[in-house]
């Protein structure tokens, strides 16, 4: 099982939109690992990384924001869309996981 994501403590000058986008991938891997555990769906780390990257790139595209050159506003839009998708997929059994990961990501977003 993937370790539960916690926003890293890094100097402010390292907190760039690209850094936050990359952390979003780690955060989503953690959350989806927890979801897979709850749903008793075995998944390898490599499968999880690939699924998450494909999904997150798709969310950025769907939101009309750049994955390659992200902005704070684009990241906020993508995170909101990811949150909605997770809430629809997991329902009440995912609430605590979703809230934890959302709060951790917003710690970084707020520093942009």
Would you list the DSSP string of 61-102?
A: HHTT--SSS--HHHHHHHHHHHHHHHHHHHGGGGHHHHHHHH
Confidence (pLDDT) at 75: 96
Q: Is the pTM of this model over 0.75?
A: yes
The rounded distance, in Å, linking the Cα atoms of 36 and 32 is 6
Where exactly are the structural domains of the chain? 13-109
* Torsion sign (Cα): 89, 95, 99, 100: negative
Q: What is the DSSP letter of 56?
A: H
Q: How confident is residue 26, by pLDDT bands cut at 50, 70 and 90? A: very high
| pLDDT, tens digit (0-9, with 9 covering 90-100), for 37-83 | 888 988 888 988 999 999 999 999 999 999 999 999 999 999 999 89
30 burial level (CB within 10 Å; 0-12, 13-18, 19+): buried
């Amino acid at each position: 099982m993937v370790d539960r994501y916690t926003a890293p403590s890094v100097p402010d000058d390292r907190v760039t939109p690209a850094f936050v986008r990359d952390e979003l991938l780690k955060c989503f891997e953690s959350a989806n690992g927890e979801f897979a555990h709850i749903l008793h769906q075995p998944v390898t780390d490599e499968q999880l990384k690939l699924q998450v990257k494909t999904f997150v790139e798709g969310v950025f595209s769907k939101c009309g924001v750049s994955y390659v050159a992200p902005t704070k506003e684009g990241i906020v839009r993508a995170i909101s869309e990811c949150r909605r998708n997770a809430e629809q997929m997991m329902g009440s059994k995912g609430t605590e996981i979703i809230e934890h990961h959302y709060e951790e990501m917003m710690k970084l977003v707020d520093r942009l």
